Amino acid sequence: MTDPQGFWSLVLHAHLPYIRHPEHLDFLEEDWFYEALTETYIPILSFAERLLNEGVYFRFTINLSPTLCSMMRDELLMSRYKRHLEKMIELSEKETFRTRSLPFHATARMYEKKLKACREVLDRNHGRILEGFKNVQNAGAIEIITCCATHGYLPLMIDRRAQAAQIRVGADYYTETFGRRPQGIWLAECAYVRGVDDILKEQGIRYFFLDSHGLLFSEPRPRYGVFAPVICPSGVAAFARDHETATQVWSADQGYPGDSRYREFYRDLGYDLEYSYVKPYLHSDGIRRNMGLKYHRITGKVALDQKEPYNPDWAREAAAEHAGNFLFNREQQARYLNGVMGRKPVIVSMYDAELYGHWWYEGPDFLEYIFRKMHYDQKTVKAVTPAEYLQMFPNNQMVQPCDSSWGDKGYFEVWLNGDNDWIYRHIHIITGKMIALAERYKKPGKLEKRALNQLAREVLLAQGSDWAFLMTAGTAIHYSHKRTRDHVHRFLTLERELLGRNLNEGFLKECETKDNIFPNLDYKVFR
């Protein structure tokens, strides 16, 4: 590409809370992971491998959170996913036959083809999805960044050592997984509070991300708004989200995913067909659930029973049209900003990865079309990673960003309100106890060290922001309450036994089996 007018930086946040229940044959919340693998993570990896093999230039940044990486590396969960995928392939083959004379046949064939393509990607990478992403990163096409260890919400932690533990464990686990130190980090919920960047500096992290107002309300105000990074007093760079590209994709009213040709998320085969037909594909409890095979399109603002049949060709055409429109707007944006700024802007588009594929089924096609059109059809905008932009433009304005998040209303209310405030007294107590234990035990015995490491895992898992978020959202409330209580209970029980020099190795082993995240975790991270 000749000299571009500006740059576009796509940043995807791929994260799920750590959900693993070896004590159950199947578990509803584990399906979140299996669905995201099939609909989001594998399709994103697949199009990245495809573009790389075809020589199409592309760049994007993806945060694969430590909890998500842990699940992708877990033998039990991946074996269960393979079993889930085989059952879905079997169902799709039955559906291809059942719909042979129905208007849903093309869609059924599409599902069969895509599910088998997922299996091919899995087999090609020997069941190790992370190896696939690692290979694309090693080829220089993407940049994988890290996140807080368990997506802990840093502004609501009252001790700097707790914040540091979340960041250090996240960085260390990235190194263990990908064989290099992370250059960037996605702070959980993009939640920033003054001083966090000092901890990032200590871990060698070069940049992080803010929502727009977190940068726009900086002191002093940023000279180039959100279209250039800034440097915090610590020396760490901060990039901010572009509002226009967020609205074009996120907005339910104005965004592309609301087009009538796209797949309807809320109507599913699991509820549409007779119970005897879907029962073999349900969990052992026999309760109906979404199967992921959806045969209707959005159509318009009509009732679910009035939705019209989905047409895969129409949906692909819509994705191509919207990719063209998105790129056209980025070209205009880059030309304008280049003229008024006097330097090449970077337009940072930040999204939850699960938007692409899970919520917006055609999302991965949309992204692939953007990169193809960017490569072949224009010379105005070039895709970059934040690290590449910083290398090209190392001199940036120094500011102090504003405390902020990308949650509703822009600050911390989603994670601290009347629906979830009860959890923090318990989290603060066990966090304080963990810090005290880390200071007290300088040379623990073998069993004591196992207990201390498990205590650290329980604290980290209790700190995950997902539980507070789900309580506010009114989704999986009972499960979120139970997870918080379980981790607090396990911590307090282990702590009491440790201090009483009466460790029950059987209970410790049970905790290690259920909450086996970060096998190489060292409790001293809380010092």
Question: How many angstroms separate the Cα of 258 from the Cα of each of 45, 198, 213, 265, 357?
Answer: 25, 41, 26, 11, 14
Torsion sign (Cα): 316, 320, 322, 326: positive
Identify the three-state secondary structure at position 171. helix
CB 146 within 8 A of CB 172: no
Interatomic CA distance for residues 403 and 141, integer angstroms: 32
Interatomic CA distance for residues 81 and 265, integer angstroms: 22
Nearest Cα to Cα of residue 28 among 270, 247, 323:
270
Task: Name the packing angle between helices 446-462 and 422-440 (round to 10°).
Answer: 150
Helix (H) or strand (E) holding 422: helix 422-440
Q: Which residues are designated catalytic?
A: 189, 352
Instruction: Report the residue count for the chain.
Output: 527
DSSP of 272-333: HS-HHHHGGGS-TT------S---BB--SS--GGGPPBP-HHHHHHHHHHHHHHHHHHHHHH
Residue 298 burial class via C-beta count within 10 angstroms: exposed 0-12, middle 13-18, buried 19 and up: buried
CB 13 within 8 A of CB 63: yes
The answer to whether the bond into 280 is cis (omega within 30° of 0) is no
CB 178 within 8 A of CB 193: no
- The residue ranges of DSSP E strands in 105-254, in sequence order, are 142-147, 185-186, 207-210, 230-231, 237-240
Interatomic CA distance for residues 21 and 28, integer angstroms: 10
Interatomic CA distance for residues 310 and 419, integer angstroms: 38
Interatomic CA distance for residues 324 and 87, integer angstroms: 37
Interatomic CA distance for residues 493 and 416, integer angstroms: 27
